[in-house]
Amino acid sequence: MDKGHEAGASQSRLSRLENDVLGNATGLEALDTALTRSADTLLKRKNKKRLIIELDSTEDPAHFKQEVVAYNGHFARNCFHGDQGL
């Protein structure tokens, strides 16, 4: 896929996902439901009892003294990491 492809995961598309979908309770609940259904199906098919999901942060550079900021070695800068209490 080229960068202009409609289904690509551009930074602006990821930002819209983070803000418009994951930035409210309804969106988070829908994501939780989708992940639970997918994980339950996968665990049952693979005959496993647990699933470990690793999530990486996106590059969201921190400015000034924001909360939940940590150094991101991949981007070599301090980045905002959202609610780490999830």
Phi and psi at residue 60, to the nearest 5°: -135, 85
pLDDT (average), residues 29-43: 89
CA distance 63 to 81: 13
- Chain mean pLDDT for the chain: 78
pTM over 0.75: no
Would you list the DSSP string of 56-80?
PPP--B--SS-SSEEEETTTTEEEE
Helix (H) or strand (E) segment spanning residue 9: none
**Predicted confidence (pLDDT) per residue in 50-65, tens digit:** 888 777 666 778 877 7
